[in-house]
Amino acid sequence: MRFMTLVVFLWSLFFVAASHAAPLESTDEVGRLLSDGNLLSRIGDVSNQVEAKATQLVVGALGFLGVPYRRGGTDAERGFDCSGFVRAIYQQTAGLLLPRSASQQAAATEKIDKNELKPGDLVFFNTMRRAFSHVGIYVGNGKFIHAPKPGGEVRVEDLGASYWAKRFDGARRVLLDTSVADPKPQ
């Protein structure tokens, strides 16, 4: 969130500076960074890297469609439960080790509004009469992928479907530039 605020701020400064008829001859640090042009290309590079990671994550997740649900499952050979699926995808595609349970994953990630969802974000549901009891990965266009329940398989579903809409508990973003690890066992 802080990164995006910085990007918006810098872009707005760039457009204000670009709207002047005369070139900017600023001695302040921000003016020098913007007139250099290198900062803007670096911001673009970072943005492209984040989008590429999200695409990798979604494509990686889609590769597990049809893998059976298994309570406590953490791999494709034996099957996944919801948080085991999310954890495996993030570990394999982004190199991040998320906590094991859905509620721990919610606590370890950044809260976002539903209207801010981007592919790769996590979506949480109250499916067991307790907050954050189920998790999936947002894939875009109002859809998410998850390991649903015993007897089910990894599949894509619509966030707007009545069942999921009633149980929606919130959205979270995994910050790809930081490592999120399991909490220490007690």
Given 53, 87, 134, 143, which residue is catalytic?
134
Residue 155 sits at the vertex; the CA angle it makes with 151 and 161, to the nearest 5 degrees, is: 100
Q: Known catalytic residue: 20? A: no
Distances (CA, A) of 14 to 8, 108, 142: 10, 34, 33
Given 53, 87, 143, 146, which residue is catalytic?
146
Contact 94, 176 (CB under 8 A): yes
Residues in CB range of 160: below 8 A, 6 or more apart: 142
Q: Which two tokens stand for residue 99?
A: 């906590």
Given 67, 82, 94, 135, which residue is catalytic?
82
Show which residues are catalytic.
82, 134, 146
